[in-house]
């Protein structure tokens, strides 16, 4: 921490944010693309970033928060390098998805909506993944893992560094 009590800020990321805001100068209605690109730069949308965006567009911070929390694509907390989605849809539920989720939670020590401290994994709550024939199903990033049993979970997680 510096003497003024602020968290150190990774300069290159904030420099890229400044460039981004410059690019969208005077463009009303650019809030969503700016949020998308800012999230791309930082991996999520930390509060200081939302503040800078609000100042730039001369909007109340609450309005920027309102947009960022309305859309599921935006994340206000850091996310893991890998996102795990354990299906809780009906087909998966009747085939034991609760036990799959339980095992994932136990292996990682986190609950849905949370991220491991090492930022390796985030668990996201999800309804049907559209692969009901493979129930119970979970996805890790873009990979579908189906016909799961709880004992398969440790080996699957081990594949993702």
The helix (run of H) or strand (run of E) holding residue 129 is none
CB of residue 135 to ligand FES, shortest distance in Å: 5
Sheet holding 138-140, edge to edge: 121-126, 82-87, 138-140, 143-145
Q: Which is nearer to ligand FES, 128 or 152 (CB)?
A: 128
CB of residue 88 to ligand FES, shortest distance in Å: 8
CB of residue 140 to ligand FES, shortest distance in Å: 14
CB of residue 148 to ligand FES, shortest distance in Å: 11
CA of residue 154 relative to chain centroid, distance? 22
Q: Which is nearer to ligand FES, 17 or 100 (CB)?
A: 100
* DSSP 3-state of 124: strand
Q: Which is nearer to ligand FES, 48 or 150 (CB)?
A: 150
CB of residue 98 to ligand FES, shortest distance in Å: 12
Which residues are paired to 121 by β-bridges? 82
Whole-number Å distance between alpha carbons of 139 and 25: 39
Strands 121-126 and 82-87: parallel
Which residues are paired to 144 by β-bridges? 139
What's the farthest any 2 CA atoms get from each other in the chain? 58
- Which residues of this chain interact with ligand FES, rule CB under 6 A? 87, 89-92, 128-132, 135, 137
Residue nearest to ligand FES (CB): 89
Q: Which is nearer to ligand FES, 17 or 137 (CB)?
A: 137
Q: Which is nearer to ligand FES, 130 or 154 (CB)?
A: 130
């Amino acid at each position: 921490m510096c003497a003024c009590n602020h968290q150190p800020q990774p300069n290159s990321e904030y420099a890229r944010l400044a460039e981004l805001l410059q690019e969208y100068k005077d463009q009303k209605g650019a809030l969503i693309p700016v949020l998308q690109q800012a999230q791309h730069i930082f991996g999520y949308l930390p509060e200081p970033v939302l503040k800078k965006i609000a100042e730039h567009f001369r909007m109340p911070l609450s309005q920027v928060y309102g947009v960022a929390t309305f859309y599921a694509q935006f994340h206000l907390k850091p996310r893991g390098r890998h996102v795990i989605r354990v299906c809780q849809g009906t087909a998966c539920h009747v085939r034991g998805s609760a036990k799959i989720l339980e095992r994932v939670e136990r292996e990682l020590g986190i609950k849905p909506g949370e991220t491991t401290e090492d930022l390796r994994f985030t668990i996201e709550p999800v309804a049907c993944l559209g692969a009901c024939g493979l129930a119970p199903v979970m996805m890790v990033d873009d990979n579908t893992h189906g016909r799961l049993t709880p004992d398969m979970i440790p080996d699957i997680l081990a594949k993702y560094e």
